[in-house]
Amino acid sequence: MSNQQRTFLGHPIGLYVLFFTEMWERFSYYGMRALLVLYLVDFFKWDQAEASNTYKWYTSLVYLTPLLGGFLADRYLGNRWAIIIGAVLMSIGHFLMAFETIWIFYAALGFLILGNGFFKPNMSVQVGQLYPQNDPRRDGAYTIFYMGINLGAFLSPLVCGTLRDTPGLGYHWGFGAAGVGMVIGLLVYVFGLPYIKELPEDAIYEAPESEAGKSTEPEEHAMTEKEAEKTPSVMPSLASVSPTVFVLLGIATMVVSPILGAFKIIPFDDVVALEIAAICSFFAAWILSKLNMAVRDRVLAIYVLFLFVVFFWFAFEQAGNAMNVWADQTTNRYLTETAPAPSPYPDKFVGTEELDFWPTLKVALKKLVTWNPVLTTSFQSINALAIVIFAPVFAWLWVFLAKRKINLSIAAKMSMGVFLLGVAFALMIWAAKYENQSSQTDLASLPNGFVTKDGGVIHFVDAPSFSMGNDEAVDKHHSGTIEETMIAHGGRLRWDADSQTLKMSGVLNANHRDRILRSTVPADFLREIWTLATKTYEAKESAKQTGDGKFTVEHTLTSDLPPGFDARYFVGFDPNEFSFDEETKTFTLSGLIADKEYKQILVAGADPVFRDAINGLFVESAAFKVSSWWLLWFYVLCTLGELCLSPVGLSMVSKLAPKKFATMLMGMWLLTSFFGNYSAGKAGELWEYFDPNTYFMFVTVVMAVAALICFLIAKQVTRMMHGVK
């Protein structure tokens, strides 16, 4: 053991500096992630597909930029400066999230994405550089480091979620708390730098005298990098052609994907993702071209296992997206009392009252410790808490098995991780069966624009969104020329014309309910509200150029109010900026009608008979929300799978990667999360189009097949590692 390092509990003190730095960085990331989809769906009133699209790109790109950050650190900046730059950028991004303006929101995401690129790969590499080659403590070190990640991930959804649910505070306070966590992490790292002692590349582990003669010598058959450079490949033919294969794959992908996009076979998003995959393929080929012999084998083994890690993150990262919505909309979060019936109307506005710090703090603390209802975001803390509980058990288990010469290969451990995640989603299939109960109400006829297919399944024409639509979209909707329809409630909302009955199974999502209702608005009222929203933006722009930015817009409807118009849907609006005189049909505004207000006004003008029927089903189906225990055990199973794969994978890259490409390959390890998160977000965009049972079944089958293939090739992949276990 190097005498340059001071140790604590058998590990260098620098490990604990990195532990707490990463803990606070993960506090900031997971706090923000826990709120993101809920923020877009509940606050901005985006559709699930729109929210998933933004979530998809954010959570993907934070794992793409580490490739650039790793390259700059290896060639120019070094690990330390890259980490500091990344922490500063992420701090800025988190604090920008505290502002509501949409362009600031996108700027915040940009800072977070760039900052993570500098920060993430360099932290993981620094852990490995604290230890000499073949040091048996390295696996344990990464497990301890992983505990730091998850300690932050446990605390942040609780803290940020509590702030989100506290009257007078809300989402932006939760985002601000995430920023504070990032600043604390930066300070811990800067002041702890003297304790981070990175060892030279040729440092070799020497067992302490107390361990001499024991049968647990460190990876006794694992060769060093210098030895691997002189050792022949176990698969010489594959190794020799592998750079060419990756180049050809990259060229084929780069050429074919734009063609598929041009013919609208795949959407533009997928074209971009495939082009990124092509670039990654070229990058992988370049690294292989610089290596040979057993060193190339080892990097190929990393690439093979990367494929299965993508499948793992595809399922695991549903946590912040589809599973977050399931927790919010479909889970009974009242543990010790009966859940109240939901209201079809929005909550009262809570953003203008003067903040009284101590009473608000008491309310926040009460929400944190009172489990009625459980915070939606708290379910995302289960995984992190389980990691903290089970990580020491797994660290002990791997050593226990190794002492008895039962050293499971890295590939075998990863196949177990993928399989356990499949089991977790299989459990949710069972939960979905309990949720899929029936409700019904009388309905004489469907509104205009609604059609039935496949035995009465309801489809509807979606009203144009103000943020995503345009005048042409309004004109098409106004004239009834739109042919594309959307399936209602994942195909579980049906109308029986013979019995004049509206039938439904499962819990109706509140946002999807509103989307269905907006589509019943009369065409002239839709045009009026579109014009009203446009006027507020024009008035604000004019006020910027001519004065202090303040403005007032009055708009009197030229047509009659829709039958059954219900102004109670305006209760969630800021009374300082919005008023409506129903007698004169006049709106008075001193603020913008953004997309969320525009959508809520349309719900107020929806077809009253159909709205009453849908609201009746919405309230009745709330009784079918499933127990919180389903999500508890789901996340526990996910955790067991994660412990079989993620810390093992981090350690694998640090062991197999040649020193000159260590940080870049760690960046590529994180890049598996780019494609995993992209796939998870892509699946989340379809959440409203399928029933939960079908959704969970699809993920389960995909994971089972991936686990089986990984297990079957485990032996050959292990040979390519040349003794690394």
- Span 1-31, pLDDT tens digits: 444 566 656 677 788 888 888 888 888 888 8
> What's the pLDDT tens digit per position in 367-379?
666 666 788 888 9
User: Taking all residues of the chain, what is their mean pLDDT, rounded to a whole number?
Assistant: 84
Phi, psi of 587 (to 5 degrees): -95, 135
Of 634, 150, 126, 188, which is closest to residue 392 (Cα–Cα)?
Answer: 150
Considering only residues 588 and 654, tell me which one the structure prediction assigns the higher pLDDT. 588
For CA atoms 719, 721, 723, 725, the dihedral sign is negative
User: What average pLDDT score do residues 480-507 get?
Assistant: 87
- Alpha-helix runs per DSSP H in 408-506: 410-435, 471-479
Q: What is the CATH number of the domain that holds 339?
A: 1.20.1250.20
**Number of domains the chain contains:** 2
- Given a contact cutoff of 8 angstroms between Cβ atoms, the answer to whether 93 and 108 are in contact is yes
DSSP 633-684: HHHHHHHHHHHHHHHHHHHHHHHHS-GGGHHHHHHHHHHHHHHHHHHHHHHH
- Given a contact cutoff of 8 angstroms between Cβ atoms, the answer to whether 311 and 702 are in contact is yes
How does residue 485 score in pLDDT terms, banded at 50, 70 and 90? confident
How does residue 352 score in pLDDT terms, banded at 50, 70 and 90? very low
**Residue 561 sits in the same domain as residue 662:** no
**Residue 633 sits in the same domain as residue 595:** no
Q: Check pLDDT > 80 for residue 545.
A: no
**Where do we find the tokens 């960046």?**
667
Tell me the CA end-to-end span of the chain in Å, nearest whole number.
21
Considering only residues 78 and 515, tell me which one the structure prediction assigns the higher pLDDT. 515
**Residue 181 sits in the same domain as residue 330:** yes
Number of H helices, E strands in the chain: 23, 13
Pairwise CA distance, residues 326 & 615, whole Å: 19
| Predicted local distance difference test score (pLDDT) of residue 621 | 94
> What's the pLDDT tens digit per position in 246-284?
999 999 999 999 999 998 888 898 999 999 999 989 989
553 beta partners: 589
Residue 688 forms part of a structural domain:
yes
Give the number of residues written for the chain: 725
**Residue 593 sits in the same domain as residue 637:** no
User: What average pLDDT score do residues 618-631 get?
Assistant: 93
Pairwise CA distance, residues 258 & 276, whole Å: 12
| SS3 (DSSP) at 580 | strand
| Predicted local distance difference test score (pLDDT) of residue 2 | 42
Residue 333 forms part of a structural domain:
yes
User: For residue 435, how many C-alpha atoms fall within 13 Å in the half-sphere facing its CB?
Assistant: 28
Name residues whose C-beta falls within 8 Å of residue 508's C-beta, 6 or more positions apart in sequence: 489, 493, 614, 617, 618, 621
Phi, psi of 703 (to 5 degrees): -70, -35
- Could you give the dihedral angle defined by the CA atoms of residues 197, 203, 205 and 210, in that order, rounded to the nearest 10 degrees? -60
**Residue 570 sits in the same domain as residue 633:** no
Pairwise CA distance, residues 354 & 541, whole Å: 29
Name residues whose C-beta falls within 8 Å of residue 218's C-beta, 6 or more positions apart in sequence: 134, 135, 136, 205, 207
Residue 335 forms part of a structural domain:
yes
**Residue 192 sits in the same domain as residue 127:** yes
In eight-state DSSP terms, residue 131 is S
| Predicted local distance difference test score (pLDDT) of residue 503 | 95
**Residue 643 sits in the same domain as residue 574:** no
Domain that holds residue 110: 7-199+220-229+292-433+626-720
Residue 707 forms part of a structural domain:
yes
How does residue 354 score in pLDDT terms, banded at 50, 70 and 90? low
In eight-state DSSP terms, residue 232 is P
- Given a contact cutoff of 8 angstroms between Cβ atoms, the answer to whether 723 and 219 are in contact is yes
> What's the pLDDT tens digit per position in 416-448?
999 999 999 999 999 999 999 999 999 999 988
Residue 256 forms part of a structural domain:
no
| Predicted local distance difference test score (pLDDT) of residue 696 | 95
Q: Check pLDDT > 70 for residue 139.
A: no
User: What average pLDDT score do residues 162-178 get?
Assistant: 82
Percent over 90 (pLDDT), the chain: 29
In eight-state DSSP terms, residue 370 is -
- Given a contact cutoff of 8 angstroms between Cβ atoms, the answer to whether 472 and 481 are in contact is no
> What's the pLDDT tens digit per position in 25-72?
888 888 888 888 888 888 888 888 888 889 899 988 888 887 788 778
The kind and range of the H/E element at 438 are: strand 438-442
Q: Check pLDDT > 70 for residue 624.
A: yes
**Residue 130 sits in the same domain as residue 22:** yes
Q: Please compute Rg for the chain using Cα positions.
A: 28
Given 600, 615, 638, which residue is the final one in a domain? 600
Residue 608 forms part of a structural domain:
no
Residue 187 forms part of a structural domain:
yes
**Residue 345 sits in the same domain as residue 422:** yes
**Residue 562 sits in the same domain as residue 709:** no
**Residue 591 sits in the same domain as residue 634:** no
Which pTM was predicted? 0.84
User: What average pLDDT score do residues 694-707 get?
Assistant: 95
Q: How far is CA 124 from the centre of its chain?
A: 21
| Predicted local distance difference test score (pLDDT) of residue 634 | 96
The kind and range of the H/E element at 586 are: strand 586-589
Residue 459 forms part of a structural domain:
no
**Residue 56 sits in the same domain as residue 109:** yes
